Amino acid sequence: MIINSNQKKIILASASIARKQILEQVGFMVVVKPTDAFEENSVDHPGENVRSLAQQKLAIFKKKTPDWKNLLVPVITADTIVLCQESILGKPEGKNSAKQMLKRLSGTVHSVYTGYSILFPGIRKSVSGYESSEVTFFSLSSNDIEDYLETNEWMRAAGAYRVQGVGLRLISSIKGSYFTIAGLPIHQISGILRKQGF
């Protein structure tokens, strides 16, 4: 990665390659410091659920980083879930779990929610929120599903697919932001960062 003088550093407390790439795409130099958290999902308020999970991940980051108050750059956490027919689809536990999720998504319209939390250590302030988008899947044949499972994109992906990869072929249409589906609503996050001078 080429770094120029106009790039600003940001800490991403997530192992998500997609989130890192999105931040790099808009010009940030990204330092990755993954934070693991127990993800307990609630269908009652899926948006507030992912926002709360992002906040929990930020709290864990603080615990794991005793000197976080001395950091000079923002810290971002995020969480994504898929809501299909009033059921939340998180990350599949294995290949069979992924297959069942893809069968469930086949031919349906579902919602993707991504929550985020941004910490500004210098002013001891954090901002959190969430965004959602709708995704329509093609009707998938058994071969379609098996072919996709062979790509291994389903691993650690909410709903067992990734919009930023081969999974895009499974999608008939999108209503809302592509970036929310990919795991980071960058338009909203960029606006928040700009207000704080980043």
Domain segments of the chain: what residues? 8-195
- Please state the pTM of the whole predicted model: 0.90
- Could you give the CA distance from residue 30 to residue 189 in angstroms, rounded to a whole number? 14
**Which is catalytic among the residues 44, 79, 144, 147?**
79
**Do residues 167 and 161 touch, judged by C-beta distance below 8 A?**
yes
Known active-site residue 67: no
3-state secondary structure of 128: strand
- Could you give the CA distance from residue 14 to residue 197 in angstroms, rounded to a whole number? 23
Q: Provide the H-helix boundaries in the chain.
A: 17-25, 46-64, 95-105, 142-149, 178-182, 186-195
**40 Cβ contact partners less than 8 Å away, ≥ 6 residues apart:** 53
Q: What is the pLDDT of residues 86-129, one digit of tens each?
A: 899 989 999 999 999 999 999 999 999 999 999 999 888 999 99
**Do residues 132 and 111 touch, judged by C-beta distance below 8 A?**
yes
What's phi and psi for 131, nearest 5 deg? -135, 155
Query: Quick one: CATH architecture of 8-195?
Result: Alpha-Beta Complex (3.90)
Does residue 124 or residue 137 have the better pLDDT?
137
Go through the chain and tell me how many residues it has. Answer: 198
- Could you give the CA distance from residue 170 to residue 185 in angstroms, rounded to a whole number? 21
Q: What is the pLDDT of residues 1-50, one digit of tens each?
A: 333 445 689 999 999 999 999 999 999 999 999 887 655 665 578 999 99
Per-residue burial over 97-129, b if 16 or more Cβ lie within 10 Å, else e, is ebbebbebbbeeebbbbbbbbbbbbeeeebbbb
